Structure 1
Amino acid sequence: MGVLSTTEFPLVDHHCHGVVTAEQDRAGVEALISEGGAPPAGETNFDTPIGLAIRRHCAPLLDLPPHASPEDYLARRAELGTAEVNRRFLAATGTARFLVDTGHNPSGLTTPEQITALTGSPADHIVRLESVAEALAADGVEPDEFGEAFASRLAATVAETGAAGVKSVAAYRTGFRLDPAPPTDAEVTTAAARWLGTGGTRLADPVLQRLTLEAALGLGLPIQFHVGFGDSDIRMTDVDPTLLTDWIRRHRVPVMLLHCWPWHRQASYLACVYPNVQVDVGSVLHYVGPRRSVEVLAEVAEVTPFTRLLYSSDAYGAPELYVLGAHAFRVALAALLRDRVESGEWAAADAERIGHLVAHGNAERVYAR
């Protein structure tokens, strides 16, 4: 195998979600292929970079020519049915292991076990911290018992699912301007009383956010942080990952910075100077398309040690996102390796070794069972 192609590299997708199991009409497909959801009247999400990429790279997997019209694509997709489309698309990614965040609107999505059944590849749970807290609140808990009850519930959830890691969506809820010190019992009780008193339905309290992270530290598992690119409730000025610097300095558990664009260079810096920080550029690759993915991966690789750079798709709902994520990553990684070899900076053997590290080896080490 030469370094000019990465098609034979197995992938470990260290952050993804399930795919939908119900049949989808055009509106359903269009809502799933954009972080912004369904397009406004008179527009279509097929007139976006990702929409065009789907017609180019996913259509052939449905036995259609590249660039098939949206109408032909959707008709063929409906003819095959969701189960067959899911099977074809996930199999085409060459993914050897999936790490699945089950905390975001899991109803109607495949479980990790169902992904294994579809692909034959192992799939592990990633437990979302905020979802555990919200489930605890729904079951009923007294404010002065919340801290201890959360730690107990989190540990039980991780043990029950055999989770390989946990994830924080502080980026969506409070941003990263968090006091790195653990909250006191009194702070937790006051914050829990305030949150539970408003219904306890969406954890967005900075004190309780700190509590969830402190509880997660006790598990010794990798902690994933959503960073940067995401849904419309992100406030981008509050999710620069360097805002986590003081928190990172206090702890030595693996910190996994997900997606990161447009803060990918800041994330790269953190991975360079803190040995427990790992980064990827996740979902943005399939939104910018294969050609631009080359530049994005090259930018995050500028100072990131190659032992701390990972792959993820962040695919959610639409199996097309798995295909595009894997394809864009492979194109970008091949271009990176080719550039280093053809310039004479690297030996071909080093490029192949580093390619395997980034595609799967680093994730296998960090998420070792």
Structure 2
Amino acid sequence: MTVLTDDLVLVDQHCHGVVAGDLDRARFAGLLTESSIPTNFDSMVGLALRRWCAPALGLPAHCSVDDYLERRAEWGWRRVSSRLLGAAGVRSWLLDTGLPVAADLPITEPVEFADIADGAAFEVLRLESVAERVAAADVPVADFLDFVENEIRDGIQAGAVGLKSVVAYRTGLDLPAEPPTDVEVAAAASAWLRWGGKRMDDPILLAWLVHLGARLSAELHVPLQLHTGFGDDDLRLHRADPALLGDFLRATKSTGATIALLHTWPFHRNAGYLAHLFPHVLVDVGLAIPYVGDRAGSVLAELLELAPFGSVCFSSDGFGLPELHHLGATLWRRALGRLIDDWLADDVLTVADAEAFAVNFAAGNCCRAYGLTVPV
């Protein structure tokens, strides 16, 4: 790997907390896959786990899965998490705190996560979770929309640095260019609340919520993150293609909003094209990096075919297992290093260019978008 990326300090644009408890083999395997069926470790991410996480826990590279899990049980979740997160080279983490989890699967909140990782952690508000929390408070129908907006504003005031929507999971990314009318939204909210206001999956309410997020992004200067690309089996992949966002992005390009397209694989080339068209778009390849393992360099190179270099950020989308945070950082840094080495060898750019681009990919672009201090 090139010396340009060996010591890069990263800022993770999007991730989640880790499980605050020890895991048996089945639970660990279940968190190492996006499938509802636990992994058997015979995959690129399984190989990456044994190659890159094992040495961080004092084990030989490529040790057996049994030896790895035995060390994990011996050390306990907190020591393992501290070692893996601390060795990731990430200075700041932006945590989506809205992902629902099982009652017996406690997830660290930003304060505890920051303490374990020995870094800084910032909250990103999930819009659907805010709306569902407001609905659960049994607010009057006439006040629901205002309560949701106020709750989001309060969260930003309290220190959240971004907003996020998982509309890709609910109805897909084919969002209208304009928000629904007040009459349409009021009728949809009334019906949804009348039916219990549980999981928000009404297309009118979701369109209203994402447009609200874009409006508040512009007003409060916080990016709006959108899940795109692959995810768990609750997702219909063809509805998560960021190319479906064309009308929405065209409508928001001059508003002052910042839209961050997360994950993007296998549509990362489409995402790069959108960033090429729309200067208010940020892109990353998130959780794809640990899952594709040694193929991470190809994915990153394909994103950079069209994406302006000022639009590209790093994220891990680590959730539950600190191994995913660690692999996201380690493999991304390694992929970028290999890519820069090739570019330098082919005289594509200068060393000065390479250094500037690497720092911006790693942290600078993200920090400027989210109003954070660029780490040194």
Alignment TM-score > 0.5, same fold: yes
Residue identity opposite 1:98 in structure 2: W
The answer (yes or no) to whether the contact 1:14–1:98 under 8 Å persists in 2 is yes
**2:91 alignment partner, SS class:** strand
Aligned-partner Cα distance in 1 for 2:367–2:15:
16
1:41-65 C-alpha deviation (Å, 9 max, x unpaired): xxx4312221121111111112111
| Alpha carbons of structure 1 residues 4 and 338: separation in structure 2 relative to 1, 3 Å | farther
Aligned-partner Cα distance in 1 for 2:350–2:121:
34
**1:21-36 pair list within 5 angstroms:** 21-36=20-35
Aligned-partner Cα distance in 2 for 1:197–1:320:
42
Aligned-partner Cα distance in 1 for 2:156–2:236:
30
1:8-31 C-alpha deviation (Å, 9 max, x unpaired): 110000100000011111111111
1:234-289 C-alpha deviation (Å, 9 max, x unpaired): 11211221211111122231110000001101100010111100100000010010
Q: 1:92 aligns with which of 87, 95, 101?
A: 87
**1:250 alignment partner, SS class:** helix
1:3 Cα shift?
Answer: 4.2
1:327 and 2:325 matched:
no
Aligned-partner Cα distance in 2 for 1:247–1:220:
18
Residue identity opposite 2:345 in structure 1: E
1:336 Cα shift?
Answer: 1.6
The answer (yes or no) to whether the contact 1:3–1:351 under 8 Å persists in 2 is no
- Indicate the residue corresponding to 2:273 in structure 1: 269
Note the residue ranges of structure 2 that are not aligned, 5 or more in a row.
Answer: none
Aligned-partner Cα distance in 1 for 2:348–2:306:
15
**1:158 alignment partner, SS class:** helix
Residue identity opposite 2:147 in structure 1: A
Aligned-partner Cα distance in 2 for 1:104–1:187:
28
Aligned-partner Cα distance in 2 for 1:80–1:120:
18
**1:1-369 pair list within 5 angstroms:** 3-39=2-38, 44-105=39-100, 108-160=106-158, 162-216=159-213, 217-218=215-216, 219-251=220-252, 252-289=256-293, 291-369=294-372
> TM-score normalised to the size of structure 2?
0.93
1:108-156 C-alpha deviation (Å, 9 max, x unpaired): 1111111211122111000000000000110012333222221112112
CA RMSD of aligned residues (A): 1.4
- With 137-146 and 25-34 compared, the bigger mean Cα shift is at 137-146
Aligned-partner Cα distance in 2 for 1:316–1:212:
25
Residue identity opposite 1:238 in structure 2: R
Aligned-partner Cα distance in 1 for 2:176–2:364:
34
The answer (yes or no) to whether the contact 1:116–1:122 under 8 Å persists in 2 is yes
Number of residue-to-residue matches in the alignment: 362
Query: Structure 1 vs Structure 2: percent identity of aligned residues?
Result: 44
Residue identity opposite 1:302 in structure 2: E
Residue identity opposite 1:16 in structure 2: C
